[in-house]
Each structure stands twice: as structure tokens, then as C-alpha cells.
């Protein structure tokens, strides 16, 4: 999921894990809402069923998914899949229109920020019913990632991949500055590292950590809270004022990059542009830096408050089904195939994160350093025992995430005082929850 917006938690990384822990990587019913199943998957006179399947992502993902569709149709010749795809923003704009008109796809890619929003509107199928009917297996999901698709006792999405937050660093800059990130390092040690990098290498240490909603979530989790409760924000206006105030001070001191310069190089990352030496993001986004930059990049551990707990959890892209589909059985069979079939795993690789089920994870053997590195990082995090459960996001979380990034950037640029910005954010969050 923003330079670091959710976007469903996607991507890859590169490298090998050394012994110090541094990973090198070069609501209501449809009737009440006026929704119907019109225009959804249909059936033919010969018994053939047609399902619409929609996702967001780039061309490589589309090419791979179309290959998996052909595999499915070969195994299930009476089920035909109609693909629909777009980039992230266009996908959700179109989906909102489709959902409001009662015509969403039968099966679609989804993310945690949208589960409660569309469940509240009666759009999402509780897939437990299809699991009970034997059309979908909820077994063999790795490291508890299945919980990413759960909310309010329902299974609203089935994960296809998993990822977690990490710190991507410029290995060359960190080495020259004499900074060696280790598992369990503290935030104070991180700030000191940024200062050392700034003073010795003459560049900022961080691209702008305090605008990343998911990092703030980890920070709160380190203090026994979370960004969200079931129905509200899990922190106070004063908490956010302090977070943004500290971030702005670090911008002014030079250890966090000038946000105007970061904007100027967008959509390229400030890290790969050489404006800073580190950036917090989802581990499987890290492939972008290798493609954009000229340095060597790596994944470093998340700083901690107590030297142990990072607040990390596994996020996921997932597949959901429309509650009003005319063909719930076939939709469930399609999802089951896409998350469990070994050949699908081989085709998709880690495009949507580390493969979520043991069948697919075991079937895909990465050969490139990028995929090997991400797998090693997540395995190391899992072994460390720091992973917690993801907190389901309330309805309106997608709007709130966008507001956090937008208002945070205004703070970074000095356009809004932290206290006023926090007040504005809480106001917008209240409106989003009520929508």
C-alpha cells in the first residue's frame, strides 16, 4: 500500500541475508442498498459459466495472470474467465462505480483497507460458506497470513501473497558512513545513524518516514496500540502532533530529505535518486530501487522501541468475491485454484508478494537474487518471532490513508503546522468513518 501507499502490498526484493540481519537486495444487504447481480458472471446454454475477474497492476502481472487463467480454463472447461485490469487508482475508481451500480466483478483483487468498506455495503461474500461447501480450502496458509483477509468473523478475502514493512537502504552510503544496521536496533540508534550519514556523506538519511501510515502503525504497535481500533483511530490528536512535529524538525535539521526535492524526482523514489540513504516501505516494493537507482540497495531491520518488538505483521494482496454473483460455487473454485495450484505459483512467482500457501511456496523456486532476498527476509522475520496479527481496518480506511499521506506532506513542506494538521486529519478521518 503513496510512495508507500498500500496498493495492496506488492513487489519483490533482491539479495542474501548476512549473519548480522542485513538483507542485501542489489454494510447492509444488497436489497437495502439497491444492488443487484445484473451484469455479473453469466451462464451459457451449454452449461458454460462466465466469470469476470479484475485486478490492478502493471503489464508483467497482467501477462502472468492471463497465463494462469488459461490454466484454470483448461482444468475447468465449463468456466470461462473475462479479465479486467487497470492501474491502482483507475481500478478503485471503476470498482466504486461498479459496486454502487450493483455490477462489480465476480472475483477481484483486494486489500485490507477495503474489506470493511465494501462489506458494510454488502458487496463482499463471506467465503467461509464456500469453504464449508467444499469449494474452497482455507488450509495451508503460511505464517498466519490468512487472517489478513478476515474481519468481524468473516473471511472476506483469500491472500495470494504476503509481505511486511522493511527499511530499504543504500548499502554503499551506509558502509561509507560506518553504519551497520542490526536486528533490535532502536529508534534512537536510527536517528543517530541518519545524523552520521548526513554529516559524513552530505546527504539526508531518510526520504520522509513520518508520512508513511503503515510505519506509524508499527510505531504505535511497539507501544501496545495500533493505527486503528475496530471502529476508530487508535491514537490521539496529541500523539499525531508529536509524530509530525518530530518529523518536521528532522527535515529542518537535514537528516530527513527536503520534501520539495522528493516531489521533484517523483514518481522516482528519493532513495534511488540519491537524495537520501533510506526509505521505509513494503519489502516487496524494493525491486523498484534496483531498477531506478545506480547504487546497491538492501533491506535492514525495522527500528524498535525496546530492542525487540518491531510491530510487524504480514500484509497481503487477496482475492474476494462479489456477494451477488450468480455463480458463487464457480467463483470459489476459481479463487481456490488461484491460491493453491502449484503451477499458478510457478507462473506468478513473487509478483504479489511471497506466495501465501505452502503448495505454491514450495512449487516456486526463485533463481534471481531479488526473489531469494525477499524470501530470506520474511523467513528471518518469522523466525525472530516478532510477527503479530494485522489489525482489520475500519470502513473508510482507504480515504484515511490517502489523507495521512497528503496532510503529512504538507507538514513536511512547512505548509501546515503539526497541531493544525493533526486536527485536520482527525476531522477528515471522522468524516470518512461516517461515510
pLDDT tens-place values along the chain, 435 residues long: 334 444 445 433 333 333 334 444 443 333 333 333 344 566 666 789 999 999 999 898 999 999 999 999 999 999 999 999 999 889 999 999 999 999 999 999 999 999 999 999 999 999 999 999 999 999 999 989 999 999 999 999 999 999 999 999 999 999 999 999 999 999 999 999 999 999 999 999 999 999 999 999 999 999 999 999 988 999 999 999 999 999 999 999 999 999 999 999 988 899 999 999 999 999 887 777 877 888 989 899 999 999 999 999 999 999 999 999 999 999 999 999 999 999 999 999 998 989 999 999 999 998 877 778 888 888 889 888 889 988 889 999 999 999 999 999 999 999 999 999 999 999 999 999 998
pLDDT at position 44 is 61
Helix pair angle (397-412, 213-222), 10° resolution: 100
- Is residue 57 within 8 Å of residue 10, measured between CB atoms? yes
Q: How many domains does the chain have?
A: 1
Q: Note whether residue 349 is domain-resident.
A: yes
CATH number at residue 125: 3.40.190.10
Please state, as a whole number, how many other Cβ atoms lie within 10 Å of the Cβ of residue 15.
Answer: 24
**Domain range holding 79?**
27-161+317-368
Strands 107-110 and 49-56: parallel
Q: Note whether residue 151 is domain-resident.
A: yes
Q: Note whether residue 257 is domain-resident.
A: no
Classify residue 322 by its DSSP letter: B
Q: Note whether residue 94 is domain-resident.
A: yes
pLDDT at position 288 is 78
Strands 79-86 and 49-56: parallel
- The residue among 212, 191, 195 whose CA lies nearest residue 203 is 195
CA dihedral 117, 121, 123, 129 (to 10 degrees): 90
**Considering just the CA atoms, what is the radius of gyration of the chain in Å?**
22
Q: Note whether residue 241 is domain-resident.
A: no
Question: Going by C-beta distance under 8 Å and a sequence separation of 6 or more, which residues neighbour residue 295?
Answer: 170, 171, 172, 173, 272, 274
pLDDT at position 226 is 96
Sheet holding 107-110, edge to edge: 79-86, 49-56, 107-110, 318-321, 158-159
Q: Note whether residue 379 is domain-resident.
A: no
Q: Note whether residue 46 is domain-resident.
A: yes
Burial 236-263 (b: 16+ CB within 10 A, else e): eeebbbebbbebbebbeebbbbbbeebe
- What is the rounded CA–CA span in Å between residue 413 and residue 224? 30
- The residue among 188, 193, 181, 131 whose CA lies nearest residue 157 is 131
Q: Note whether residue 334 is domain-resident.
A: yes
How open is the CA angle 289-302-187, to the nearest 5 degrees?
A: 120
pLDDT at position 43 is 65
Question: Is the omega angle on the peptide bond into residue 371 within 30 degrees of 0, that is, cis?
Answer: no
Amino acid at each position: 500500500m503513496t510512495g508507500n501507499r498500500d496498493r495492496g502490498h506488492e513487489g519483490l526484493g533482491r539479495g542474501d541475508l548476512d549473519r548480522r540481519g542485513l538483507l542485501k537486495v542489489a454494510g447492509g444487504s444488497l436489497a437495502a442498498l439497491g444492488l443487484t447481480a445484473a451484469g455479473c458472471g453469466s451462464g451459457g446454454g451449454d452449461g458454460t459459466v462466465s466469470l469476470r475477474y479484475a485486478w490492478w497492476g502493471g503489464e508483467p502481472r497482467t501477462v502472468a495472470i492471463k497465463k494462469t487463467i488459461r490454466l484454470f480454463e483448461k482444468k475447468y472447461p465449463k468456466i470461462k474467465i473475462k479479465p479486467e485490469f487497470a492501474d491502482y487508482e483507475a481500478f478503485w475508481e471503476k470498482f466504486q462505480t461498479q459496486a454502487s451500480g450493483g455490477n462489480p466483478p465476480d472475483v477481484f483483487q483486494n486489500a485490507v483497507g477495503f474489506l470493511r468498506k465494501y462489506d458494510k455495503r454488502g458487496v463482499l461474500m463471506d467465503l467461509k460458506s464456500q469453504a464449508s461447501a467444499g469449494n474452497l480450502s482455507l488450509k495451508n496458509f503460511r505464517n498466519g497470513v490468512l487472517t489478513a483477509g478476515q474481519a468481524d468473523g468473516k473471511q472476506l478475502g483469500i491472500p495470494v501473497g504476503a509481505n511486511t514493512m522493511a527499511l530499504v537502504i543504500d548499502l554503499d552510503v551506509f558502509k561509507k558512513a560506518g553504519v551497520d544496521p542490526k536486528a533490535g536496533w532502536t529508534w534512537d540508534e536510527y536517528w543517530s545513524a541518519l545524523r552520521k550519514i548526513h554529516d559524513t556523506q552530505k546527504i539526508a538519511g531518510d526520504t520522509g518516514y513520518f508520512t508513511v501510515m503503515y510505519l506509524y502503525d508499527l510505531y504505535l504497535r511497539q507501544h501496545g496500540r495500533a493505527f486503528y481500533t475496530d471502529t476508530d483511530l487508535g491514537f490521539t490528536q496529541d500523539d499525531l502532533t508529536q509524530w509530525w512535529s518530530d518529523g518536521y524538525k528532522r527535515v529542518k535539521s537535514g537528516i530527513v530529505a527536503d520534501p520539495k526535492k522528493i516531489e521533484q524526482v517523483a514518481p522516482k523514489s528519493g532513495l534511488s535518486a540519491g537524495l537520501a540513504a533510506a526509505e521505509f516501505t513494503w519489502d516487496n516494493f524494493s525491486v523498484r530501487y534496483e531498477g531506478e537507482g545506480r547504487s546497491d540497495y538492501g533491506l535492514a531491520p525495522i527500528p524498535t522501541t525496546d530492542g525487540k518488538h518491531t510491530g510487524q505483521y504480514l500484509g497481503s494482496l487477496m482475492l474476494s468475491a462479489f456477494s451477488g454473483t450468480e455463480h458463487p460455487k464457480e467463483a470459489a473454485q476459481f479463487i481456490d485454484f488461484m491460491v493453491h495450484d502449484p503451477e499458478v505459483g510457478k507462473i506468478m512467482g513473487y509478483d504479489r508478494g511471497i506466495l501465501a500457501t505452502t503448495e505454491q511456496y514450495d512449487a516456486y523456486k526463485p533463481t534471481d537474487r531479488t526473489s531469494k532476498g525477499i524470501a530470506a527476509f520474511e523467513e528471518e522475520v518469522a523466525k525472530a518471532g516478532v510477527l503479530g496479527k494485522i489489525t482489520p481496518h475500519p470502513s473508510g480506511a482507504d480515504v484515511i490513508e490517502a489523507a495521512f499521506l497528503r496532510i503529512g506532506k504538507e507538514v513536511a513542506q512547512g505548509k501546515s503546522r503539526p497541531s493544525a494538521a493533526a486536527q485536520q486529519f482527525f476531522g477528515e478521518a471522522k468524516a470518512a468513518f461516517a461515510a
